[in-house]
Amino acid sequence: MTGRSTPDPIGLEVRWDRLAAATDEAATTMLRTAFSTIIRESNDYTVVLMDRRGRTVAESRAGIPAFAALMSSLAELVLRRFPADQWLDGDCVITNDPWIATGHLPDIAMITPVFHRGSLVGFAGTAAHSPDIGGTSTLGATDLLAEGVLIPPLRLFRGGRVEQGVKDLLLANVRLPEEVWGDLEAQAAAHAVCRRRAREFLDDFDETGLEEFAEAVHALADAAMREAIAAVPDGVYRSCLDADGVQGRPTHIECAVEVRGEDITVDYAGSSRQVPFAVNSTLNYTRAYSMYPLKVLLDPATRTNWGSYRAIRVRAPEGTIVNPTFPAPVLARHLTGHLLSCALYQALAPVLPDRVIADSGGAPALRVRFAGQDDDGRPFGLMLFANAGMGASRASDGLSTTAFPTNSGVGGIEALEVSSPLRFVRKELRAGSGGSGRRRGGLGQVIEVHNPTRRPVQMVLLGDREHHPALGLAGGGPGAPARAVLSTGERVSLKSISELAPGASVVISFAGGGGFGDPQEREPELRLADELAGYTIEEDSA
C-alpha cells in the first residue's frame, strides 16, 4: 500500500483476512494452553491486533465479540498511563479495572507492544475470564473492593522479564494461583503469536508500519456502517423493560435510539439508579453491549474493527445501573448489560421488523459457579457457562441453546467433569420452553448437576429471567422463565449463594426465547414437526 493514494480493494481484503487469521491463530494458541475450562471450553476471551494508537485493526472471530468492541478504549486509557515512547519490546501491561477493561474484576485484560525493525508499530490485546480473582463473596459484596483484587494498569512483564512483585501480589490473593497464572501465560502466548505474525505481515508486504493499512480498513468499516444507518428512517425509537432486579425490587432500563442521517445515538436516560448489588454495568460494558447488537443488526457482513463503531454514540446518566460510579459492585454486570440488546431490538422493531429478533432467554446469561474441595481435600472451582434459547425472527424460529448477545458456550461435559469432582447427570433440551408464535422461540435446556463427594459444595447462581421471561415480538409469546431446583424440591433463587450437600443434585432450567408473530399463523407442518420432535410437550412444573 506504500505510495498508493487509493488502496486496491482486493489486496486490502487479502491483507485484512491475513491479520484476522493471525488473531484466530493466537486465539487457538490461548485455548490450547489455558489451564481453566472458562477459556478452554467456554470461549470467554478476545484477541485483537491494534495500530500504534491502540485502535483495533483485526479481531479474532471466536471468543466474545463485544469484548473486542471495547479493546480500543481500553488501549487508549492504558496509553495515557504508559505513553508510546515508554514501551520496550517484551513489555506486558495488565488490568482488570471494570471502568477501564471489560466491566468486572474476573476479566484480566493484557496489552503488549508490537515492534518491527526497532520501531513500535502496534499492539496486541487480549481479555480473558480468570478462574478466580479473590474476594470474600460473589454476591454479598456491596462495593467493588469486596469482589476481588483490583489491578490498575501495571506492567506484568518489562522487556520480557516477569515483574515478580506484581506476580507475587496477585497470586497471593487468589484461591487457584496455578490456574490463574497458567491462564495469564496462555494470554501471553497468544500475544507472542500476534507479534510474530504481524512482523511477518509487514515483511512480506514490505511495509514499515500498520498506519496506512489501519486507516484504510477503518475507513472501509466506517463507511459500511454509515451506509447501513442511513438506510434506517430518521427518528427517535423507544423501548423499556424490567429485569428481576435484586431482593424483589425490579430494575428498569429505558432506551431511546435516535437515527439522524449516518449517525445513531443510544440514550439510557431514565434507567434505574445504581444498586448495592453486583448487577451494575460500567459505561464501557454498556457501550460494548449496545454497539455490538447494532453492528450485527445493521451491518453483519463487514469484518469488525475500530471503524465499525465510529458512527455509534452511547449515553447513560452517571450513577445508574448502566453507568455506575466507583466503587459500585459489578461482578454480575452482564445481568444488566446483556439485556440492552433486547431493549435495542424492541425499540427498532417498528422500523426494522424483518431484521430484529425477539428477546433471547440467554439475555442475560445464567451463570453457575461451583467451588469446594474433593474428597482428598484438593480445591476446585468450576463456572458453568450454558446457553438458553434465542429469540425468533420474522423469518425463522429462534436457535435453541445458543448464546446471544455473548458468544460463550458450555464446552464438553467430559472436560468439566475432569476438572472437578461434580457429575453431570443430564443435559437436554427443555421441552415447551420456546415462546409461541408464527416463528417459535428457541428452546432452553435442562442441566442436572450431582455432588458425589462427602463434602458440601458452594453454589453461586448469577441469573435473571426468573420473574421476567424473554418477551416475544409482533404478537409472539414469551419464553419459559429460568429456575433452579434442588433434589429436595427446594427452589433456589437465581441470585443466591447456597450449598449443594453431599449426595444432592440441582436441576437448572435455562430460559426459552421469545416467539415472533401470531401463534395462530404457524404452519400446520411446523406444528406437527414440533410435536414429533417433542419440542412442545410441557415439562414437569416442579
Going by pLDDT thresholds of 50, 70 and 90, the confidence category of residue 539 is low
pLDDT, tens only, 333-386 = 999 999 999 999 999 999 999 999 999 999 999 999 999 999 999 999 898 999
Can you tell me whether residue 356 is helix, strand or coil? coil
Instruction: Report whether pLDDT(17) > 70.
Output: yes
Dihedral sign for Cα 279, 283, 289, 293, please.
Answer: positive
Q: What is the mean pLDDT of the chain?
A: 94
Going by pLDDT thresholds of 50, 70 and 90, the confidence category of residue 388 is very high
pLDDT at 137: 61
Closest by CA position to 275, among listed 321, 339, 214, 242? 321
Going by pLDDT thresholds of 50, 70 and 90, the confidence category of residue 542 is very low
Which residues, including other chains, have CB under 8 Å from residue 412's CB and lie 6 or more apart? Answer: 41
Give the sheet arrangement for strand 457-462, strand by strand.
Answer: 379-385, 367-373, 457-462, 495-500
Pairing of strands 491-492, 379-385: unpaired
pLDDT at 135: 87
pLDDT at 132: 93
Going by pLDDT thresholds of 50, 70 and 90, the confidence category of residue 138 is low
Q: How far apart are CA 315 and CA 503, in angstroms?
A: 49
The DSSP element (H or E) to which 391 belongs, if any, is none
3-class secondary structure for 509-541?
A: ECCCCCCECCHHHCCHHHHHHHHHHCCCCCCCC
pLDDT at 2: 44
Give the sheet arrangement for strand 92-95, strand by strand.
Answer: 56-59, 45-51, 119-129, 107-116, 92-95, 154-158, 161-162
Q: Domain residue spans in the chain?
A: 9-209, 232-355, 357-542
Q: How far apart are CA 125 and CA 198, in angstroms?
A: 13
Name the CA radius of gyration of the chain, rounded: 23
Please, how many CA atoms are within 13 Å of residue 411, restricted to the half-sphere of its CB? 22
pLDDT at 1: 45
Q: Which amino acid is at 513?
A: G
Going by pLDDT thresholds of 50, 70 and 90, the confidence category of residue 11 is confident
Name the CA dihedral angle for 54, 55, 58, 64, rounded to a multiple of 10 degrees: 90
Lookup: cell for 87: 514501551
Instruction: Report whether pLDDT(260) > 90.
Output: yes
Instruction: Report whether pLDDT(537) > 90.
Output: no
Question: Quick one: DSSP state of residue 487?
Answer: T
Between 5 and 417, the more confident residue is: 417
Instruction: Report whether pLDDT(140) > 80.
Output: no
Dihedral sign for Cα 199, 202, 208, 209, please.
Answer: negative
Lookup: cell for 507: 436441576
Q: How far apart are CA 383 and CA 397, in angstroms?
A: 29
Rounded to 10°, the helix 65-81/283-298 angle is: 140
pLDDT at 541: 42
> Hunting for cell 424440591 — which residue is that?
489
What's the pTM value of the predicted model, to 2 decimals?
0.94
pLDDT, tens only, 96-129 = 999 999 999 999 999 999 999 999 999 999 999 9
Q: What average pLDDT does this structure show over 213-229?
A: 97
Q: What average pLDDT does this structure show over 153-159?
A: 98
Q: Assign domain 9-209 one CATH number from 3.30.450, 2.60.40, 3.40.50, 3.30.70.
A: 3.30.450
pLDDT, tens only, 282-323 = 999 999 999 999 999 999 999 999 999 999 999 999 999 999
pLDDT, tens only, 81-99 = 999 999 999 999 999 999 9
Going by pLDDT thresholds of 50, 70 and 90, the confidence category of residue 3 is very low
Going by pLDDT thresholds of 50, 70 and 90, the confidence category of residue 6 is low
